[in-house]
Amino acid sequence: MSAENLVQLLYLVATGLFIMSLRWMSNPETARKGVFSGVAAMVLAVAGTLAGVITTGGTHYWWILAAFIAGSAVGYPLAQVPLTAVPQRTALSHAFGGLAAGLVGTGKFFLYYGQSNEEALAPYIVTALMLEILLGFLTFTGSLMAAGKLQELKWIPQRPVTYPGQNVINLGLFTLALALGVALVLNPLAAWAPLAFMLVMVLSLAFGVLLILPIGGADMPTVISILNAYAGLSAVAMGFVLNNKLLITAGALDGSSGLILSIIMCKAMNRSFTNVLFGAFGQTQQAAAGGEAKVYKSDTPESAAQIMAQADLVVIVPGYGMAVAQAQHRVRELYDQLKKRGVTVKFAIHPVAGRMPGHMNVLLAEAEIPYDDLVEMDEINGDLPQADVALIIGANDVVNPAARTDKTSPIYGMPIIDADKARTVFAIKRSKNPGFAGIENELYYLDKTFMLFGDAKVVVGELARQLAGEGGH
C-alpha cells in the first residue's frame, strides 16, 4: 500500500468513526462508546496528517507533535470542569476551533500571495478562504463573549446591551466584510489585497463581539449551538483550502449537528433564529409601580415530606439550581425513599432545562436514576393533572405559566412543563431572584404552591431524611 493510500485509509476510517460517534451518542446506553469513537477518530485524523507530512518529505512534523501534546495538556484539565460549566467550556472549544480555522486561512493567503501564485489563489480557493476567515474569527470572539456571559464574568454584561441602529450597524459591518471578500476573490494579487484581507479579519473579530453583545444570558446556550454550526462551516471551508476530505466531512458533521441542535432549542423556546440573534431577549422586567406586592407561601421539609409520603404520583422537575447545588445524589436518595413507600416517581425533562439540552439527563444518570423514569416534556404534561405533587428543584422559566397566559412576557409561547396543573406544588429555590430570563414566575404565587427556600442539596437531603425517619416508625 502506498503512503498516500495509507493516509486516505486513515482518513476514511476516522470519518466513519466520527459518524458512528454521533450515532452512538444519541442513545444513553451507547453514549460512552460514542465518546471513545470520537476520540479514536481524532487520533487517527492527526496520525493521518502526520503520516502525510512525513511521507511527502516534510520536515516540520515535530511542530504537529508539539501542538498535539500542548493541546492535550490544555484539553485534559478543561474536561474536568463541573457539569454546570460544560456550556462555557464548550464555547471555549468553539473559540479555539474558530481561531485555528482563521489562522490557517490567514497563513495560506499570505503564503500564496507572497508566491504570487495565481493558481493557488483561484476564485473558488479565495472564496473558501474568505468564508474560513469570516466564520472562523467571528466564531472566536463570539464564543469568547458567550463563555464570558455564561461564566457571569463581571466585565462582560449578562443582560442585552442595545443601542439605536444596532442591527443596522452590525449588518453594515458584515456587508462591508463581504464586499471586501468579493473584491479579493476578483483580484487576490492586487497591491491592496493584504490590507483588504487584514480589514476582513478585523471586521470579523469585531462582528463576533457585536453579534453577542445584544443577546441575553438566557439565550447563550442556543447561541453556542449556532456558533458550533459556524465553526463547522469554517472547518469545511478550511478543508477545501487544504484539499483535505476529512476536514470537509468532519466540518459538515459539526456544522449540521450544531444547526440541528439550534433548531431543537429554538423550537423548545418557541423562538426563531432571528429572534435569538436580534431580539435582545433576557432583559429583566421591572415590577409595575404601585402594583400589589406578591407574597410567597413558605413551607418546611417536614411538612412537604408528609404530603409526598401520601402521594400516588410525584413528578420532579429538575433545573439549573439542582445542577449548581450538585444535588443529584440527594435526589436519588429522595427517589429511593418515595419508591420504598410505593409512590410512583417521574422526572419531567424540559429540552432547555439547565444550560444545554441533555444537561438534566446527564446529571440524573450520574446518580443512577433509571432512564425510563426520565420523561420528556411533551409526554409528562399529560400526566401532571393526575400528579399529587410536583416538586420543582431549581427550575424556573421552564415551569412559568406566563409562557401560556401573558402575551407581554418575553417567554410567551415557549412550551413549558405544566407543573401548575399538579394538585400541590413544592418549589425549592435558593432565593427570591428571578430566573435566567429575568422575569417573575407566577407559579410561585399560586395558592397550591409552597416554597422551600434553601440550597437544593440541603433541602432535598432533608426531605429524604424525613421520609426515611417516618418509614422507620
Whether residues 348 and 382 fall in one domain? yes
293 falls in which pLDDT band (50, 70, 90)?
Answer: low
Burial label, 212 (beta-carbon count in 10 A; 0-12, 13-18, 19+): buried
Catalytic hit among 219, 397, 418, 420: 397
Whether residues 372 and 357 fall in one domain? yes
What is the percent of the chain where pLDDT is above 90?
47
What whole-number distance in Å separates Cα of residue 88 and Cα of residue 227? 12
Q: Is 383 a catalytic residue?
A: no
What whole-number distance in Å separates Cα of residue 413 and Cα of residue 400? 11
pLDDT at 434: 64
pLDDT at 151: 80
Whether residues 242 and 318 fall in one domain? no
Residue 68, domain member (yes or no):
yes
Whether residues 40 and 146 fall in one domain? no
pLDDT at 286: 45
In this structure, are residues 410 and 437 in contact, taking their beta carbons and an 8 Å threshold?
A: yes
Whether residues 255 and 122 fall in one domain? yes
Whether residues 317 and 389 fall in one domain? yes
Tell me what the mean pLDDT of segment 350-366 comes to: 81
Q: Which of 450, 394, 449, 451 is nearest to 421 (CA)?
A: 449
The alpha carbons of the chain give a radius of gyration, in whole angstroms, of 26
Residue 416, domain member (yes or no):
yes
| Residue where a domain stops, chosen among 31, 46, 80 | 80
Confirm whether pTM is higher than 0.85. no
List alpha helices for 56-189, DSSP H.
Answer: 61-78, 86-114, 123-150, 166-186
Lowest mean pLDDT among 128-132, 216-220, 223-227: 216-220
C-alpha triplet 25, 136, 150: angle, nearest 5°: 60
Dmax (CA) for the chain in angstroms is 88
What whole-number distance in Å separates Cα of residue 320 and Cα of residue 360? 8
Residue 296, domain member (yes or no):
no
pLDDT at 218: 63
| Residue where a domain stops, chosen among 263, 278, 293 | 278
Tell me what the mean pLDDT of segment 334-363 comes to: 88
Higher pLDDT: 454 or 440? It is 454
pLDDT at 74: 87
Whether residues 307 and 262 fall in one domain? no
Tell me what the mean pLDDT of segment 123-152 comes to: 91
66 falls in which pLDDT band (50, 70, 90)?
Answer: confident
Tell how far CA 81 is from the center of its chain: 15
385: domain range?
301-471
Q: What is the amino acid identity at position 386?
A: Q
Tell me what the mean pLDDT of segment 375-394 comes to: 94
182 falls in which pLDDT band (50, 70, 90)?
Answer: very high
What whole-number distance in Å separates Cα of residue 31 and Cα of residue 203? 39
Q: What are the CA-CA distances from residue 98 to residues 103, 136, 159, 354, 359 (Å)?
A: 9, 4, 25, 25, 24
Give pLDDT tens digits for 296-328.
889 999 999 999 999 999 999 999 889 888 899
Q: What are the CA-CA distances from residue 272 to residues 175, 267, 281 (Å)?
A: 22, 8, 12
C-alpha grid cell, residue 15: 470519518
435 falls in which pLDDT band (50, 70, 90)?
Answer: low
Residue 286, domain member (yes or no):
no
DSSP structure string for 254-302: HHHHHHHHHHHHHHHHT--HHHHHHS-TTPPPPPPTTPPPP---B--HH
Residue 293, domain member (yes or no):
no
C-alpha grid cell, residue 223: 447561541
What whole-number distance in Å separates Cα of residue 362 and Cα of residue 318? 12
Whether the per-residue pLDDT at 136 is higher than 60: the answer is yes
pLDDT at 471: 46
pLDDT at 283: 46
pLDDT at 158: 67
Out of 47-51, 55-59, 88-92, 177-181, the most confident range is 177-181
Tell me what the mean pLDDT of segment 186-211 comes to: 94
186 falls in which pLDDT band (50, 70, 90)?
Answer: very high
DSSP, res 389? E
Residue 371, domain member (yes or no):
yes
What is the percent of the chain where pLDDT is above 70?
91
Burial label, 456 (beta-carbon count in 10 A; 0-12, 13-18, 19+): buried
Whether residues 314 and 223 fall in one domain? no
Burial label, 111 (beta-carbon count in 10 A; 0-12, 13-18, 19+): exposed
What whole-number distance in Å separates Cα of residue 400 and Cα of residue 269? 12
Count of domains forming the chain: 3
CATH number, residue 437:
3.40.50.1220
pLDDT at 263: 82
Whether the per-residue pLDDT at 38 is higher than 90: the answer is yes
Whether residues 61 and 96 fall in one domain? no
Residue 330, domain member (yes or no):
yes
C-alpha grid cell, residue 301: 421539609
Q: What is the amino acid identity at position 469?
A: G
Whether residues 129 and 28 fall in one domain? no
Whether residues 213 and 235 fall in one domain? yes
pLDDT at 48: 87
Tell me what the mean pLDDT of segment 275-304 comes to: 64
Whether the per-residue pLDDT at 290 is higher than 50: the answer is no
Out of 135-144, 226-235, 266-275, 434-443, the most confident range is 135-144
Residue 289, domain member (yes or no):
no
Whether the per-residue pLDDT at 13 is higher than 90: the answer is yes
Q: What are the CA-CA distances from residue 86 to residues 136, 236, 263, 357, 371 (Å)?
A: 21, 25, 20, 11, 21
Tell me the pLDDT of the chain averaged across its residues. 86
Higher pLDDT: 326 or 354? It is 326
Whether residues 409 and 426 fall in one domain? yes
C-alpha grid cell, residue 237: 471551508
Tell me what the mean pLDDT of segment 169-179 comes to: 91
What whole-number distance in Å separates Cα of residue 34 and Cα of residue 71? 21
DSSP structure string for 461-472: HHHHHHHHHHHT
| Residue where a domain stops, chosen among 64, 80, 96 | 80
